[in-house]
Structure 1
Amino acid sequence: MSLMSITRRSLAAAVLAAAVPLSAAQAFEVGNPECIAPAAPGGGWDFTCRQAGKAMYDLKLVPSPMQVTNMTGGSGGVAYANVVAKRASDKNLIVAASSSTSARLAQGAYPGMNKDQVKWLGSIGADYGIIAVAKDSPVETLPQLIEKLKADPASVAVAGGSAVGGWDHLKVLNAARKAGVENLRQIKYVPFEGGGEAITQLLGGHVQAFTGDISEAKGFVDSGDIKILAVLAPERLPGEFGKFPTAREQGIDAIGANWRGFYGPGDMPKEAYDYWVSTIDSLYKSDEWQQIMAANGLMPLDLQGDEFAAFVAEQIKDTEELSREIGLIK
C-alpha cells in the first residue's frame, strides 16, 4: 500500500477516535494484561508486544506490566487458533499482528479461520520492508542481487520470518517481479518463525539474503552484521535510516509497508474492546511512542476500531489478488 493511502487512512482515523466511548473504556478495569507474540523472540511481533507493552505500563495505560507470551507455529496460525478456540472472551488479552497476519488469512493458511473471528483493535505504525545481505557478502546493491536471481533463481536462498506465501515472501517476489524476473516460483525462499531466526541463518551463511522489516533488523544493522541493499519505501526514510537507498531509486519500483497492530478475542466484552481501542489510540498519540517509532523506523499509521478493521479487510483482499496472480493460491 502506498504512503499516500496510509496517510489518508491516518487522517480518517482522527475522526474515528472521537467516537470511542471513553466513559466505557475508563469504567473497565483490566486484570493481568497479556500480549501474545505469535513468533519466537527477536522478530517483529515480539517487538510489537514488548515495546508497546512496556510503553503502556510506563504511561500508566495498564495497571501492571504486560505479560508477553511467545507462541510460535504456523506463522501466527497457532496463536490465532488458540485465541479463537480457547480464549475467545478473554478481556485482558491482545495479540500482535501485522501484514503477515492478513497475508496468511488471505491465503487460507489458518485452516478454518477467518478475519471475523477476532476483534481488530488498532495499529501502531507501518514498518517498511528491506532486503539485506550479510556484511561480508560480495553483493552491494539490489540490482546485483536481482541479476543473480535472473541468471539462476535457485542459486540465491532468501530467508524471511514468515511462511512460504507470507508477507516476507511476497515482498521479495514483488521486488523480483518488478525487476523483470520471469520465473518467480523458482526463487528459493526459506521460512523461519520470526525475523530474528532468519537473520541468524543469514549470519551463519546458510542463506544468501534476508527479506524483512526495519524494526526487526535494526539491531543487526547497528552492529554492522548486515548490509541493507534496499528499503521498500516510496522515498528515503527520515533520520538515521535515510542513508539506506530505496528499491525505487535503484530502478526497481517495489513498495512494501508492513502494518503493525493488535487484535483481540472475538467475543471479548464491548467494554473491554472499547478499553483496548482507547488504550492503543492513547499509546500511539503519546510522545513516548512517537520516539519509539522514530528510533525503529516505523512510519505513521494511526487506525483504531472499525477503521482498522476495514483497513485489514482491504489488505486481505489485495493480498489475495496478488497471491492468485503469482500462483500461490488458486
Structure 2
Amino acid sequence: MKKFFAWILAIAMTLSLAACGGNNSDQDDSSQQGDTEAKAFELSGDVEFVCPFSAGGGSDLYARTAANIIGELGVLGGHTITINNKTGGGGAVGDAYTVTKKPDGTTITTYVSAQITSPMITGSGITYEELTPICNLAMDEYTIGVLSTAEYQTVDEFIEYAKANPGKITVGGSGSGTEDEVCTGLIELYCGVDLEYIAYDSSAEVMTAMLGGHINAGIYNPNEAISQYEAGECTLLAAFGPERISVLPDVPTFTELGYEDVQFQQFRGIFGPGGMSQEAIDYWCDIFSQVIEHEDWTEGYLATNGLTSKFIVGADFSTFIDNEAAKYEAVLDALGLLAA
C-alpha cells in the first residue's frame, strides 16, 4: 500500500512539474512573440533627412527642428539623423534624389505643396505617386510683402498700381511651379492684374532681391519675413490663409479685404522613397507623433512661426494628399499653368 501511494505521489509530482514547465513555455513563447512584435522594424543604419530646399528656408527649418528633437529623444536605436539639402527645381532635385534611395526607412524627406505642383507645371520630375507618404505635421501660411518705401502699402493700392502698370510689377518666389507661383497666380486670376513672377532658389534670395530693389514684391512664409517686417524694412500687405496669422496679428487676410478666392495654405509633411513597407511607415509615424508633442515643436516651432498643427497619418494622409493634388491641378488649370 505504501508503494502504491508513493507511485501515485510520483505521478502527481511529474504532472505538476510538466504543467509548470508548460506554463513557462507559454510565457516564454508569449514573451518572444512580444519581443518580435516590438522589434518588427529596426533601422539598418543612420538616417538621411533630405530637404529639397535651401538652408534657412521654411522646409529646412522644420526639418532641422524635427531632427534636433529626434536626436534629443534618442529614439533611433543609437543611429544618427543628418539633414541633406538637395536644392533646385522647386523640390525636383531633392525628389529625384530621394526616389533613388532604398525604401528601408533610412531616408526620409520633407514634402510640401510645391513638390506636387512643380511636376504639374513643368511636365517633368518625380510625382508624389512615386514616393511614399508618411505623415503630415502642420499647415503653413503665406504672405505677400513689399518694401516699406514702396508707393503701395495696402492690397488695394498694390492692385491699383498693378492695373495701371500691367506686367511691370515683379514678384519673387522660391522656385518655379511652387506655392509661391500659385499664390502669385491667384492674385492675377482673381484681382484682374498682370504680374511677372521671378523664380529664385530660396526665400532668402527673394528677400535679398526685394530689399535690393531688384523685384517689387515677394511671397513669404511668416518666418521668412517676420524679422524684416518687425524691423520696418518691408510691409506685409496680406496673408493668404483664411484667418490672421498668430505671429502677425496686424496683417490682414485677402479674405477679410474682400478677395475671398485669393486663399492658400501649405501643408508640411514627411515622405520617403517609393515602396516603403507599412512597418517602416508606422515606425516613422510613431516617431513623429512624439516630435509634435515636444515643447520645442509646439512652442519653439509652431507658435514662434505661426503654423497650425495638423498631424495626419496612414490612409487619411494618402487621401489628404490626393485631395490636395486635385485642388492644385484645378487652380493651375484655371491659371493656364499646367504643362501641355
TM-score, normalising length from structure 1?
A: 0.84
1:66-105 alignment, distance < 5 Å = 66-84=81-99, 86-105=100-119
C-alpha distance in 1 between matches for 2:91 and 2:141 = 20
C-alpha distance in 2 between matches for 1:25 and 1:201 = 51
Q: CA RMSD in A?
A: 2.2
- Kindly state the Cα deviation for residue 249 of structure 1 after the two structures are TM-superposed: 2.2
- Structure 1 segments of 4 or more deviating over 4 A? 23-27
- Kindly state the Cα deviation for residue 109 of structure 1 after the two structures are TM-superposed: 4.0
Larger Rg: 2
Which residue does the alignment assign to 2:254? 247
- Compared CA separation, residues 109 and 226, structure 1 to 2 (3 A): farther
Pairing 1:154–2:170 present: no
Q: What is the percent sequence identity of the aligned residues?
A: 26
Instruction: Indicate which of 111, 115, 124 corresponds to 2:128.
Output: 115
Pairing 1:35–2:49 present: yes
3-state secondary structure, aligned to 2:180: helix
- Kindly state the Cα deviation for residue 79 of structure 1 after the two structures are TM-superposed: 1.2
1:105-144 alignment, distance < 5 Å = 105-107=119-121, 109-111=123-125, 113-144=126-157
Structure 1 alignment gaps of length 5 or more = 1-22
Pairing 1:177–2:189 present: yes
1:265-304 alignment, distance < 5 Å = 265-291=273-299, 292-304=301-313
Are the counterparts in 2 of residues 53 and 65 from structure 1 also a CA contact under 8 Å?
no
Are the counterparts in 2 of residues 103 and 319 from structure 1 also a CA contact under 8 Å?
yes
CA-to-aligned-CA distance 1:162-216 (integer Å, 9 cap, x gap): 21x32111112213322233xxxx4200001121111111111110100122233
TM-score, normalising length from structure 2?
A: 0.81
CA-to-aligned-CA distance 1:60-109 (integer Å, 9 cap, x gap): 3444553111111211111111122x214242111111111121244354
Size of the alignment, in residue pairs? 301
C-alpha distance in 2 between matches for 1:192 and 1:220 = 19
The amino acid of 2:130's aligned partner reads Q
C-alpha distance in 2 between matches for 1:110 and 1:290 = 36
3-state secondary structure, aligned to 1:249: coil
Pairing 1:328–2:337 present: yes
The amino acid of 1:91's aligned partner reads G
CA-to-aligned-CA distance 1:114-171 (integer Å, 9 cap, x gap): 32211111112111110001233232111111112212231110000121x3211111
C-alpha distance in 2 between matches for 1:110 and 1:305 = 27
3-state secondary structure, aligned to 1:107: helix
Structure 2 alignment gaps of length 5 or more = 1-36
